[in-house]
Chain A
Amino acid sequence: MSAEGEGEGVSGGGEGEGEEVSGGERDFGTGERPGSSALRGAGRVPRERPEWAAGVRPGHRPLLPVVTADAVAREESARTAERLAARSRERPGDQWPEHVRALRERAAHIRRETLDDLESHLGALTARVTEHGGTVHRAATAADATAVVRRIAAEHGARLVVKSKSMVAEEIGLNPALEADGIEVVETDLGEYIVQLGDERPAHIIAPAAHLSRADVARRFDALAGAEQAQRPRDHSASALAGFARARLRADFRRADMGVTGVNFAVAETGTLALVTNEGNADMVTSQPRVHVAVMTPEKVVPRLADLGVLLPLLSHAGAGQRATVYQTLLNGPRRDGEADGPDALHLVIVDNGRHRILGTKYEDVLACIRCGACQTACPVFRTLGGGHAYGSVYGGPVGAVLAPLLDEHPGDAELPYLSSLCGACADVCPVRIPLPDMLVDLRADHAASRRGPAAAAWHAWSVLWSSRAGYLASLAGTAVAARALPRRALAALPAARRWARGRTLPDLRAAGRLRRAVRRTAGRGSRAARHRDLP
């Protein structure tokens, strides 16, 4: 899905052919092989994002609570929260329109049916794609996958690569890997392009620049154009900004040696690769360059072509509130004899990168995810963090908080399941019914179990104390005594109280046990009756 949500309604696409291509192209008429037109001047774009949001994940990552505290404090965060909240209000929680509700149930079933027999669907997909003249590669790890793509690029002498949105490419670090070989990679999804210019990671699965306002985008584009006034966006309206990006990108589409895309769904029955965008950039990336490399994870496979009739409209609805995206691209192999466009070669790279470890576990359902980003938009925690770089993982928001620890790429990701108030909004909006809050709770349990220590022992002792009436009442009495004996300042120095008091006044713990005394006074008969039913 495309950059449906960058800032205040900047949206690409949809213009007629034949628009004057400004700037870029005339510089590259003859002679020296040109570089990217879209990225020319990118060095002038200021790096406004914090270090933890950088395009290449920094080697050192501060503790998550430190990162989130910084993220909340950023000026942009409140504005982003408001934008995403407004989007959520348009598509409230569990209020699924009747026709979409039926799709949702069907899709949830299709996704699980697929996961039950993933390898056989992948086998069928591989056979069909090969029959069509494509080449299928299986990669176990991120390094394997990038090695495959680098080899393909080298074989075809690729110097300029245009890319359509792909989260798995982010996951495996494809851009830096290609750039290390001296290849220029240009993001052609408008939101991805905007974040690429600022050397940032995408902030949201389908709205990579959701954390930026129109003014932020204008600032980046102005810096990109630099002193060349004629190239600057004519004004800072959404359409002018989109037009500027379009003109910049168009030259690259024409000149690129290789196109890289993700895959929204891959049909086992027919070998069809399905891509959806609102900007048409996937059509350009897959039709103009000589080589098309599509990167997907195994679970993107669907059994039948007819399943697209369920999944594509559902994806559009859940992701962007659309009945259908503007473009739906269905590819069946490279260009055949007599066809007008399309690549000479098509490579499909299926990257596992840890998914096989999730299959067959209680977390298998997370692989049903269709990357609509609805859980991110709905999540008040994600919103509060100003659009989500603060998760530190490639996939932010609730699905990222589940997936990242399972992929086990960074030890810090184990903290992500705690970065949720367990409000459940993500489960309400999930189009394929993934029980994300339950998974977050289970992941917390796994995390706690992996580090048996004083905390686990304390919880154990506490539960023993609190599963007896005497122990419980004693702890209430003790709390009240401590609350009365200690000055408030001393109480506020205790770890939990200190964290609470960071932004809130402390509740009065002297109230501990007051309820019991009041009940004894007012409901003596009732509580005597109850005593007979107490535990032996």
Chain B
Amino acid sequence: MALFTSCAADLVAPGPALAAARVLAATGAEVTVPRAQTCCGQVALNSGHPAPATRLMRHWVATFEGYDAVVAVSGSCAATVHHRFPRLLTGRWRPRAADVVERTWEFTQYLAQYGGGLDLALTGDVTWHDACHMLRSLGERAAPREVLGRVRGLRLHEAADREVCCGFGGTFALTYPEVSCAMADRKLADGAATGATHVVSSDATCLLHLAGRAERRAVRLRTLHVAELLAAALPDGPGSLAEVAAA
């Protein structure tokens, strides 16, 4: 199995990818982190530059097509592979992409299917943020809830607006910073109102945006990637979310 870590992990957020590797290894999978991997092209595509995006997509296909399974640590990148690759890649690249896309999973999707044997325990109160691309492009809202439901001691508090965008949106966060931050404020207030201490999600980038905003506004809601949560819930983990936060 290959772990698709995303460029965000390489640049600013290594934690979720390393945690995902530990969790997947605990399922008994042989986890490889292909060194040639770079970026799926999503940022370029959404910024209006499909040609550079397509170049990166081809590189992605060539990097990952030799593996039995590809597991993505980002719901958004997984959605790009599933939703965008078949639309943008042409010629001989189209069947090659279709072939590997079929074997590409978002992290919690894979665990919902093959992670049943994991022994998970972690006490604490969390709320789940349905990251948009995971939810709508990938159409996945059940898998993370199912996996979190297997963690003994964990209480999941559903927020009223759990399916509303956090305001990150890639370059949207830079193009319209005031709108983006106002959206984060609503998300944070909504999450905090549930009584949870942590907002958990499938995308490190949404969480960077929310964490950065929470810190600026001194909101007491912390962020945690679902892979980091699950790694902490493994048998040698800290046992409680409070200890994760303290670490």
Residues in A lying within 8 Å of B, measured CB to CB:
65, 68-69, 72-73, 77-78, 81, 85, 88-89, 92-94, 380-381, 384-385, 418-425, 427-428, 438, 441, 444-449, 456, 459-460, 462-464, 466-469, 472, 476, 479, 496, 499-500, 502-509, 511-516, 518-519, 522-523, 526-527, 529-531, 533-535
Contact = CB atoms under 8 A, between A and B. Distances in A.
A85 B12 CA distance: 32
A300 to B, nearest CB: 29
Given A499-B174, A535-B36, A526 B45 contact: no
Nearest to A503: B181
A463 B53 contact: yes
B35 A535 contact: no
Contacts of B55: 463-464, 467
A500 B31 contact: no
26 contacts: A92-B163, A380-B164, A380-B186, A381-B176, A381-B179, A418-B171, A420-B172, A421-B165, A427-B136, A448-B49, A462-B52, A464-B55, A469-B35, A499-B175, A500-B173, A504-B184, A504-B216, A511-B14, A515-B18, A518-B14, A519-B21, A522-B21, A526-B33, A527-B32, A533-B34, A535-B62
Nearest to A381: B179
A419 B174 CA distance: 11
A530 B135 CA distance: 31
Contact of B177 (A94, A468, A503, A523): A503
Interface in B99-148: 132-133, 135-137
Contact of A514 (B14, B45, B51, B215): B14
A463 B49 CA distance: 10
Most chain A C-beta atoms within 10 Å of own C-beta, residue among B12, B173, B183: B12
A422 B46 contact: yes
B133 A459 contact: no
Interface residues of B, number: 77
Given A385-B179, A513-B10, A515-B17, A421 B132 contact: yes
Contact of A441 (B38, B45, B180): B45
Nearest to A93: B163
Given A504-B212, A515-B5, A380 B174 contact: no
B11 A509 contact: yes
A423 B58 contact: no
Nearest to A450: B48
Nearest to A469: B36
B192 interface: no
Contacts of B21: 519, 522-523
Contacts of A65: 175-176
A468 B55 CA distance: 10
B2 interface: yes
A506 B135 CA distance: 27
Contact of B212 (A421, A427, A438, A505): A505
Contacts of A456: 49
Nearest to B209: A504
Contact of A72 (B49, B63, B135, B179): B179
Contact of B46 (A428, A441, A464, A468): A441
Give chain A's interface secondary structure class: helix
A427 B135 CA distance: 12
A311 to B, nearest CB: 25
A94 to B, nearest CB: 8
A448 B47 contact: yes
Contacts of A512: 10-12
B130 to A, nearest CB: 10
B236 interface: no
Contacts of B167: 380, 384, 421
Contacts of B165: 380-381, 421, 423, 425
Nearest to B160: A89
A523 B174 contact: no
Contacts of A514: 14
B193 to A, nearest CB: 13
Contacts of B51: 460, 463
Contact of B10 (A77, A88, A506, A515): A515
Interface centre among B17, B21, B38 (most CB of A within 10 A): B38
Contact of A459 (B36, B47, B66): B47
B178 A68 contact: yes
A235 B184 CA distance: 38
